[in-house]
Structures are given as C-alpha cells and as structure tokens.
A and B are shown apart, each in its own frame.
Chain A
Amino acid sequence: MSMALLSSPQSHFPTVNSLSKTHLTPKPTLSLRPKRHFLLLSTRVSDNGSGVVVVEDDNKEVVEEPAAIAAVVESEEKVESSDDSLETNGSPAMAAGAPVEVLVGKYENPKWVGGTWDLKQFQKDGTTDWDAVIDAEVKRRKWLEDNPESSNNDFPVVFDTSIVPWWAWVKRFHLPEAELLNGRAAMVGFFMAYFVDSLTGVGLVDQMGNFFCKTLLFVAVAGVLLIRKNEDIDNLKKLIDETTFYDKQWQATWQDENSSSSKKDF
C-alpha cells in the first residue's frame, strides 16, 4: 500500500522530474527557468511518515517568490513571464489547496526533529526500526536532491549516517548482494569443476592441489567480485587510467629529457 502511495507523488511531478533531467544538458538559457519552477512548486510539501505527500500550491507564489529572490539579486533578469507559462503547466497536476504563507518549500517531517531523525519515533516492538530510519533518510535526500534548499543556521542539519549501527547496514545492503555473488561463484565453480573433471579426469580434491587450478579459482572469485555488470569492465579500465593520469600530466615536462636526470617518477 505504501508503494501505491509513493507512486502518487511521482505522478505529481512528471514535469518536474523531466525538467530536472535537463540540468545536465548544456542549454544555459533554458535551464534557468526550470530552476525557478522548482521554487514555485516546492511550497509547503510536507511528508508525513507514511509516505503520503500533500501538496499545497498557491498562485500567489508567482508574485511572492520573484520578490524574495529580487531581494538577493538586484541585477538578475526578470523571467516572470516564462514562470507564468510553466506554472500553468504544473498547476493542473497539483492539488490546488488553500492559500499558504510565503515560504519556500522546506523539507518537513514530524520525525525529523532538530536537524536529525528522532529515533524515539522509529520504535517497533521496543527497539529502533533501523530500516525505517534508512528509508526516511533516503526519502529526505531524494527530496533535497530534487529541491535543493537553503542551509539555515537556525535549523542546522546534524544527521550522521553512523548513528545507524553497522549490522543494520550489513543486513540490509551487504547480505543480499553477498548472497547474489556467492550464488554466482558457486554456479561458476560447480560447472568449472565438472568441466575440468570431465576433460582431465582430475577430481575436485586433486584439482585444488594444482597450481593452475588455484589460479583459475582466484580469477573466478576476483571476476565475480569486480565485474557485476557489463559496464564494470569499462569502468575498471577507466579507473586504472584515472589513477595515473595526473602523474602523467606532471611528468610531461620531463618527457624531453633523457636519462641524465634521475628520480623523476614519483
């Protein structure tokens, strides 16, 4: 049921999310407007713990927001006309609620107290429900990524991911992947052991004593660990290049000198 509720806020932001993708394309003139659009839309969006997003929009914002920004910037070009056209795109999708006070939308959540998660509100059966804390933090970060907020000294954020104990992370993230990788290794290992046995007649115990087989085992384990998606092969190659790239740039000036000076390779 929470998934259905989660999917509804997404439908409220179809224009928002597609616009957010344009951030990375080099279109400087267009990109200014979607940013304004966020500010206009992200009025009081409050997120209560169950994942329902309530949006209250106010057409008054169109006038209020630019004024607030103009207070910061006096030499900015006025893009209100374009704001209006974007606003009409957005408002049918929004639940137009009661007029709201002039506030840029901030992340609000009853469980987010004093700049961090109030663990007392995450109790389940007497102990803290760490999975719920992780979920809440994920939603908060996602929200802030799509709607960056000003950092405020009166409401500092002091959350640190290390308050969630290590075993909660292991249980949730490491174990499923470990299961996957061990499964892959087991499948590869079983098949290779059978294949080698059928070709050479060497049984599993004797295979383990052979140096070549041990090397193959090492390669198989390393492969399963490092290469989990097809793109990983390219990523690894790029990473290796990256680590030595800067060194090469620094040594470039020494390329035209031959062996007379030593100790150049750092």
Chain B
Amino acid sequence: MATSIALKTFTGLRQSSPETTVISHRPTTLTYRPLRISAGKFSPKVTGRNLRVAVIGGGPAGGAAAETLAKGGIETFLIERKMDNCKPCGGAIPLCMVGEFDLPLDIIDRRVTKMKMISPSNVAVDIGQTLKPHEYIGMVRREVLDDYLRTRASDSGASVINGLFLKMDKPVDKTAPYVLHYTKYDGKTGASGKRETLEVDAVIGADGANSRVAKSIGAGDYEYAIAFQERIKIPDEKMRYYEDLAEMYVGDDVSPDFYGWVFPKCDHVAVGTGTVTHKGDIKKFQLATRLRAKDKILGGKIIRVEAHPIPEHPRPKRLADRVALVGDAAGYVTKCSGEGIYFAAKSGRMCAEAIVEGSEKGKRMIDEGDLRKYLEKWDKAYWPTYKVLDVLQKVFYRSNPAREAFVEMCADEYVQKMTFDSYLYKKVAPGNPLEDIKLAVNTIGSLVRANALRREMDKISV
C-alpha cells in the first residue's frame, strides 16, 4: 500500500522541522518571546468600565462568542462585513448543537436521517437504521443560522457593527488597549464606507478561513482543502428521494483525498466535492461527481456555483497576548467529514467563557493565561474526536481499495451506531470491547480483500 498522501514538511511559525519540535513538557529553549503567564486574578482591575472585547466575524463562531460575552457582562463589539452573507457550506449540524445552543427548530430546513455511502464500484450502503426517531442531522441555510445567532448576541447586549476589519495595532503594555481599524458600512449599498477605529482590551478572531486577525498576529498558515459546490434544482419527483437522505460518493474519480456529496437543501440539492492535494483538478472532480449522481439529478438546473477553502488542521499559533482565534480562523475543521459549524460555535463559546471567567465578569483585565485556558479546555475536550477522524481519513481515504473497504464496513450495524453516536453527540463513544475487536478484525479483513483485488486489477491492466 503506497502512501498516496504527499507529506509536506510542516513549516509552521517556528520553522522547525517535525523532528526537532519538542514535546511541550520538556523545558525548552525554543521560546521566542519572553514568557508572561500570570493568572488573571493578579491582573489589575478595570476601573470605571467593563472589559471591552471585539469579535471579528459574525458567523457561527462570532455569534456564539458575542452572545456568551455579552451575557457575561462584557462590553462586546461584533464586527461583520456582510450581514446577508450566503456562505457556501454543507450546512450540516449535529443534533447536540440544537440542544446546546438552543436553536429553534424552524431554522432547520431538513432533518437528514439516512445517508448513502457509494463506493468507487458503486456499491451503495444505506446507513441510518440505527438512528432513534428523535435523532437526525440538521441541514440549515447558513444565512439563516448566522443571522439568528447574531440577533441573539445583539439581544443580549452586544453591539453588532457592519464593517470590514482592516488591521489592528498591538498594545504597548499589558493594560493598554488594542486599536482596531475597520471600514464601517452604514447599510447603504454601493457606499464605500468610512474608516473608523475601535479600542478594545481583547479580540476574538472569528473571521473564517482567510482570517485577517490571524494574519495580524502572525498565526501562521495551514493547509486547506478547496470545496467546490453546485446548487442544483432538480425536479420534484427526484427531490423526494433526497427528502431526508444525503449521499457521499468516494472514489479516485470524485476526489483523491476527500469525498463528493449530494446534500439536500431547502428546495434544491448541493452537489459538490473537495480536495487538498489536487486543487487544480477540482472541476474535473465535480464533473465526475455529477456523473456518479447523474441518474438522480437528471433534468436539474444549476442555480449557483460556489467554492470555499476548508482548513485541514489548526494554525501553528492560535492565540497571542489577548487575541484568540476560534472557528475556521483557528482551523477547527475535522478531517474525514470536514465538519466545522458545530466546532466553530463551540470554540467561540468556550473562548468567550474563558474571557468571562478570567476577567471575573468583566471586572478585571485579562491576559494570555486566561486565553490559554480556553485552548487547554478545547484540546482536552475535542482532541480525541479530531484524532480519530484523522486516523479514519488516513486509513480509508487513501486509495480506492481503502474506500471500498470503508463502504463495506459502513454496512455493519455496530459501525453505524458508533459513527452516529460520535457524530451526533460529539463524544467519542467508548463502545463494547468485544464488538470493537470484531470490528477491528472485520476492518482488516475488508482492507486486505480490497487490496488483494486491487493487485489483481493492476495485473490485468499491464
């Protein structure tokens, strides 16, 4: 099995090759800045006013962060450049998000309760039989969700500003404010907006995959996938098939390292694919995805074409001083499934909670240590999820035989139950050890068989 994933040396911020990065508990001499970790408890009180925090970016991460900050008594500013932004996005949210964020059920356009996985040789497996009646994957329109979260933030006391963040001036000392420069739009279309500044004590960067906040703190780059999607309006009788069903197509023709999908939206379907390593061929992959779904979307009309970058891993630096990154800006998108909405909102909330706690509800100045607590909590809570999905991607998206084995494994009920439990509730469910062993044996068996078939295939093509 040749490794088909090209390994780029990870040139992070520190420019150290992977062999020399140290495990952090060893005392290291690689510090590049003087270290000042002191608990917020010893920070000076903020007199005469509450702590001011700006949240740049009004998507799920920004909206959730702003709401939690405002509820915690912090003076919050949410800066968003396009209030009606129709983000290109899969739009799938897990069940736990509805509960955790108190989302009203009417912003969910569809409840997906069935999924179909289709292998390179068109073996189709239905999954979802293990779902209980109240369990589903919610499909939302991003503009509806984002707007709802922003409105809730402003109702809790945050000031929502329609503006485009340009740059920020770093503070001169531990208590001086950050000065943000942004272009304020006053709502009139076509107006170019005017330059304004805003002084805040801390910044949460929630401005997405091309985050300017990340650039201004020198957070470093990440590898990203290009997701390309076409929204297709299909005839009603074909739409009925996709009523509560989403499809995933895997194969080298569809994507060398990701998958192609057909997700149902409010009244149309989104057909798309993505890739990290072969971005130039994305149109070809899209054609292949359309071909594989052809019978089911025949007669459809493309109403919109969109593409967006998806981060593949967190940025080398996720915070600096009193600036923290959350959501896509930090790179919190899982591998294998490419899920980001829930993690964006959750990280926004966690970061805001850390700020509220560290500042004792806005009474004290915070410092980097308080924000580090958010990172600690985040890594501890979700690292297993990310790692498991990374392993799954490395094992099952490697090659066509691996994908065939993947689809074969999905037919197993135990796999379906574990997958959905982990996805819907965002906890890596421990499961039954005996079943786990059986699953491991079956997985290895599937992989071995598929690879054996592959070798035979190579023989007849010579």
- Residues of A bordering B, CB below 8 Å: 6, 10, 17, 23-24, 26-28, 31-32, 35, 39, 68, 71-75, 104, 134-135, 137-142, 144-145, 148-153, 156-162, 164, 166, 169, 172-173, 231, 235, 238-239, 241-266
Contacts and interface: CB of A to CB of B under 8 A. Distances in A.
Contact of A252 (B305, B314, B455): B314
A258 B287 contact: no
A255 B31 CA distance: 8
B318 interface: yes
A160 B124 contact: no
B372 A261 contact: yes
B172 interface: no
A71 B232 CA distance: 12
18 contacts: A17-B461, A28-B284, A32-B283, A138-B460, A142-B461, A145-B121, A148-B120, A235-B1, A235-B2, A235-B3, A241-B7, A246-B390, A251-B24, A252-B315, A254-B24, A255-B14, A259-B24, A266-B387
Contact of B3 (A6, A141, A151, A239): A239
Given A73-B302, A249-B10, A144 B120 contact: yes
A160 B13 contact: no
Contacts of A39: 291
B64 interface: no
B400 to A, nearest CB: 7
A239 B301 CA distance: 44
Contacts of A28: 280-281, 283-284
A72 B27 CA distance: 61
A23 B28 CA distance: 47
Interface string B286-297: 011011111111
Given A235-B2, A256-B32, A266-B387, A162 B24 contact: no
8 closest A-B pairs by CB: A150-B294, A26-B280, A252-B316, A249-B313, A138-B456, A264-B24, A173-B452, A161-B449
A250 B23 contact: no
B115 to A, nearest CB: 14
Contacts of B13: 252
Given A253-B316, A266-B387, A75 B453 contact: no
A247 to B, nearest CB: 7
B193 interface: no
B14 A252 contact: yes
Contact of A255 (B22, B251, B297, B454): B22
A74 B408 CA distance: 35
